[in-house]
A and B are shown apart, each in its own frame.
Chain A
Amino acid sequence: MATRLQYENNCEVGVFSKLTNAYCLVAIGGSENFYSTFEAELADVIPVVKTSIAGTRIIGRLCAGNKKGLLLPHNTTDQELQHLRNSLPDSVVVQRIEERLSALGNCISCNDHVALTHPDLDKETEELIADVLGVEVFRQTVAGNIIVGSYCTFSNIGGLVHPHTSIEDLDELSTLLQVPLVAGTVNRGSDVIAAGLTVNDWTAFCGSDTTATELSVIESVFKLREAKPSALVDEMRKSLIDTYV
């Protein structure tokens, strides 16, 4: 299910939070409402960690991660790094990397298997991404924009990209990522997808300006509506043998 929320009257929830399958990072300084909405959805399943990065609240755009690891920019303070290492599960490798393009969330978009990166990222950084996050890395652009981390967001199940992405690009990206993709908007026509939306395999959070149409597109491409046990059976029905005659 997709949840609509705001951070201090601001609908760009993907800027102030980072959601993966293994953990969720939330920016400090917001009202308790913001934090408690995440807790309500995720508390029993994955840890929800309040943090800042480089002393700022725009953590969603500065870090990149998936269930295997988390990459932090070079200006993350030692205390923040330690706090994150302590709060996240041991299976998650937390690594601070030296990269000129420090807004890693804007430069890297990833799920648990594949990552799309900014074309100008260093070679060492690319290798680190492949190492720490355990993904295959592709340098790509989305609808002519090089900051791929802002204009597309995808989970292991589906993805949403910039509304002006052409059909050919959509097909190409879909082949690379091996997930269905759809071109759409969030937050009432905003094309900065990753700023308005943060998603993992079973839930999504988007800004409260998101219209019902946009929400239904999000729920259908990320298959959030069908997160019930019966859905699994329905999909596998053809390969299940119910009775032997």
Chain B
Amino acid sequence: MFFTFFLQFMMPIRVLQPYRMPRKPKKNNRLVTFSPFGRSIAMATRSWRATKEVEKPERQNKDLATSSLNGFKDNIKDKIQQSDSSDDEEFEGDVQADFVFFDPKPDDFHGVKLLLQTYLDNLQWDLSGFVDLILGQPTVGTVVKIENDEDDGVYSVVSALNLGRYKASSCFLFCDSKCVLELKDFLLKVCQDMYVLGKLKSLVGEHVQHVGLLVSQRVVNLPPQLLPPLYDGLFEEVEWATEDEPTKELQSSFRFRFYLIISKIYKHKNADQNRGTLKNGEESVIYNRPEDEIFFEVPSGMFSVLLLSYQCANLTSIKCFCSLAHGHSVFAYMHSRLLLMRQLKNYRPMGLVMAVEACKISSFREQLHLLIDE
């Protein structure tokens, strides 16, 4: 009802992996990174046998876990054989990592905070409070760790937060808690198109009770095979929460009509100039994460996406400009972090805010499966 944009992007669909695994022969298996976290990352990237166990004892009736687990394992085994044969002469032995999914716990504070450091670009905000909100919601949300990891590192976190739910304890009921307030202010500040701003205001204002902030952050090299079960798990938990939460208020707080996603993309510097100057093979937008592309792309026909990407030239000022492309509004923002990758030298890092209707989530899940499981 709110947003009826018809998307006509003719972008070729290609999932780009910003990281390429190093293929240098190594004399020994000793990992030369200095922090325990760095070591864990290096170990995880060298492993190709990623198995998944879902540790949620209260969900006995979940068929998804077993069925996808079997499918998942078979899939991985094929991949292993493939990679082993080609890598035999280069790798002396694979490091294996078993990824395990957990409910968020207060102990995961530091790991989750590290993953969310750049969530709102480099805004100074109450990140600790935000992490506490995620960890305070064990029923909806997942944290990915490695089994028997002595450092207990967090490799990925997903959660869905109802932005209308968190009120400051010290103040009247209509006063948001500090981190939610700062988050909303940030979103409204980076959007300067009046048309999109109005819709965004209603999303974070009067209709905030129906909006779920989809938080999904992970280390860059996390095996993509984990994504379908991760997202499936999250959306299933949201469904169960609408039935299982103790109070009616909490149950209804999980009946999301929209999901808000804040993410990062790379936009070609010439993309705004009527796409005539793009060289062959260069795309106008590169997505950091494959699921963002699926959220953006039309499953079929029409779906509502509020697209806003924002440009930030330096710490204190935010320059925004608006470009209308194919009937929807796009705002660009630039990260203040510099890009070092040569192949991205023609691209600007941008932030991206999307609002996706909750009814489209099932088609998103299917598409994600298709994309990753191929």
Contact = CB atoms under 8 A, between A and B. Distances in A.
Q: Do chains A and B stick together as partners?
A: yes
Interface of A: 6, 8-10, 31, 33, 188-190, 208-209
Contacts of B56: none
Interface residues of B, number: 10
Given A31-B315, A208-B128, A209-B128, A9 B122 contact: yes
**Which label, helix, strand, loop or mixed, suits the secondary structure of the B interface?**
loop
Contacts of B127: 9
Given A6-B124, A9-B117, A188 B109 contact: yes
B275 interface: no
Interface in B89-127: 109-110, 117, 122-125, 127
B122 A8 contact: yes
Contacts of B125: 9
Nearest to A11: B128
Contacts of B122: 8-9
**Which label, helix, strand, loop or mixed, suits the secondary structure of the A interface?**
loop
A33 B316 CA distance: 12
Interface in B119-144: 122-125, 127-128
Contacts of A33: 124
Contacts of A10: 117
Contact of B124 (A8, A188, A190): A8
Given A9-B124, A31-B124, A31-B315, 13 more contacts: A8-B122, A8-B124, A9-B117, A9-B122, A9-B123, A9-B125, A9-B127, A188-B109, A188-B110, A188-B128, A189-B109, A190-B110, A209-B128
Nearest to B119: A9
Residue among B110, B122, B125 with most chain A CB within 10 A: B110
Residue among A6, A9, A33, A209 with most chain B CB within 10 A: A9
Given A9-B117, A31-B315, A189 B124 contact: no
Contacts of B315: 31
A74 B124 CA distance: 34
A189 B110 contact: yes
A189 B105 CA distance: 14
